[in-house]
Chains A and B, each alone.
Chain A
Amino acid sequence: MKQTEIVIVGGGPAGLAAACAAYDAGVKDILILERDRELGGILNQCIHNGFGLQTFQEELTGPEYAHRFMEMVQQREIPYLLNTMVLDITSDKVVTAMNREDGVFQVQAGAIVLTMGCRERSRGALNTPGYRPAGDYSAGTAQRLVNMEGWMPGKEVVILGSGDIGLIMARRMTLEGAKVRCVAEIMPYSGGLKRNIVQCLEDFDIPLLLSHTVVDIHGKERVTGVTIAQVDGNLKPIPGTEVDYPCDTLLLSVGLLPENELSRAMGVEMAPVTGGPAVNERLETSIPGVFAAGNVLHVHDLVDYVSQEASEAGRNAAEFVNGGAQAQKPGIPVTLQGGPRYSVPCTIDPGKVQRDLVIRFRVGSVMKNRFVSLYLDEERVIHRKRPVMAPGEMEQVVLKPEMLAKHPELKQIAVCIEEA
């Protein structure tokens, strides 16, 4: 069987960043396996700008951002295979994959970085009643058709869900001449970035109906309209508030789900809230030498953070390969108080933190005038004011090795949201 030091599953932004970082950390024997026709993942269909402000200090489109990383991969001559589906990964890191040219083949990996990304929730997962005609698309599918293939899936559009892809597609469909009637959001707040609400809806006078959802889909062959109703505090439709919206297309932007079928099948322990693997401070899963980063780990808002996180995972994978198998010691579980729904990592072994460690999390509801604090036992080492936090935006605190140095007997690490 072929041996490779690091196998990277997925050639999107996370996979590319992980590959480059692993290479730069000294591991040259890397293989990227990508199921699509090209590297870059979903960035290829994100032709709007706003990518790279953190990573490159300039505003790039998705394909441009992806291209920068593809160039870095090519400069380093890191091998990759396209149109290659990973079928299975065993817990002892045998990767089985398949493509047209090589057929089914197996690779024994020294370390693995899982960077499979995420998928969109579908209408089926919402259990939206009605007929099942053509014309209901997940926003990302529509984005691919419009931006990469030049086709318009519809002309009169209702969008359910105000996730970022839905907001971006509201603007995109409008620019392509479609009429976007409204964006309905079941929650009392949007799941997308504030800047997208302003730039994609408000600038185009597209109404955002908060606390509303689609309760019926009309049309036997092609969508002819949807019924939208207001919802109560339990998210249940309020009878009598139904309004019919004629349209030929319903786009869904109702959440992203990390794609962890391979991870689950290989026995990686999952975190309950994120839908991604439970990882330690090294972004390592419950299987030693198997790392995860990007949207497969937890859904990100900005690709820049994906790249940062994945670089870290790539470096850690390289250290794992170079340092040999390290016995995993259970770390300290990160305690959450006052608002964070989850944290990545879930556990931290203070002895393993040699660089700045970014702890990422999201809050469960809109919170105003709060402080984000990090406690090491009783000591508050970070106390930072946040005027507004929303579930659509990722938050972070940075734990520095020097903070830990003062706590040799550390028992508790807590991320807290505190009243101002």
Chain B
Amino acid sequence: MHPATRRKLLLALVPLFVAVVLLQARIDPFVAELHKGSRTPFAGLTTEFILGPLLGMQQAVAGLLWVRADEFFHEGDYDAILPMVRMVTWLDPHNLDVYITGAWHLAYNFTDSSERSDRRYIPAAQKLLEEGDANNPGVYDIAFELGWENTDKIKDYQRAYHWYRICAYERKGADERGELTKPVPMFVWHQLAHSLVRLGRIDESIEVWRKALAMSNELVRQDPKDFSKRNVRDSERHNLELTLKRKFSRYTHEVDWSIDGKRTKSIDPYTGQPTPADAYLFLSEDDIRQKREQFTNVGEPVPPMSVGSPRPPAVVPKWETAFDVRPTFVEDKVLDLKGQFNVGDGARVTIRLHDENWRPPQLKAFTFDIDQSVTLMQDQHSVRQGTWGRKIDMSKDPKMYSFKSERYFLVFEFDPRGTSPFIQDRFGWSGEGMTDRKYLYVESDKNPPNRILRKVYRITRAQVFRRAPITEADVFPAAEYARLQKQASPPPPAQ
């Protein structure tokens, strides 16, 4: 090359490079705009994720992936996390957090535009946890999560108890070396006791609290300076006392209180043993007038009551709830509800709409694949001043609510076992203090039986799309609905 040519070429580089810099400055705003949105699951993975496993560094890669998934989590891109969950559990099946977090995403974080969860993924979430539990035998963590998800999200208290029980009696905690040497934390026992309460098995729950208290007393004795252990023990005392108080105030006359063969009115906070103390007595004429109104309201004879005499059980007499609802489709797939419910503010009614032949599926193995044609909507509305209900818009999420079936069940439910203690104070743990002229349904297959409120409509696709109104003629027998659901449901676990 002639030196002159070389010089010319070098000079030509100057304007070209200026052009490159100017272009870059113009491209930058576009790139910024581009990255504003969420991230892509696979393109965000660089070569180390692909080369790593080939070099036998599964755990390291799984860890890296999990860090990356965490970034997606903070960006709110839950969809991007799931493939990573699956990959991490494949690469490293002993990472408990991954199963737990993945199942949590599946069960909680997929929502429609009104923040209602996509409950079609709940069986997948459960199966993922079961897979994790099977891969990590002996560790309590995942079994505990199964118990929690069944309590909090699914409200299948029988299944929750099943897992908590396994957790408390059969599992251990892992120490720093990953060996199963530690007893399960005390909160496992607490949840076991709570789950028994949810099943209406109060005496068993009290036994669990006592057992827990005994264990904590021993722990405190071994290490008296550990305040967290003291705190745990104190909360167990409190819970034991509370449960006993609730049991007696709800179901017995004060005079009948007896714990361990001793007549009592409260619990000694230090020993956990019953002590004689203040009675639950009528203290004023106002108290008596309110109770008398209850009896007259339900048309029961009023027993004799006077100031200073013991109160009758809180759940007596039975409370008429006057539960009802009028569902109307005001637009295609937009349901408007006008409900009434004679109950204290804050009680929550569960609303469920699903394909007529939908049953909770029983998965044989974990899969993210769900039947996308299924329509399954579940919501809860709070009661305020005896009324409840608002619009439920299912028109904006055709993926979740495809309405492909011809017939649907529209179910309105109130379960006293899942409600707040102050409502249970009147209704009892299993609805003993509650009655309804129209929609009371007794789940007699449960032990003890549970009295719930349930109104079921069987509606058609045409009604969803407003070609016909929903009328009381569409009301479907609650017992028959329970029978249909139960037919296909898996049998509840033993105990």
Does chain A bind chain B? Answer: no
Chain A interface residues (CB < 8 Å from chain B): none
Chain B residues within 8 Å of A, Cβ to Cβ = none
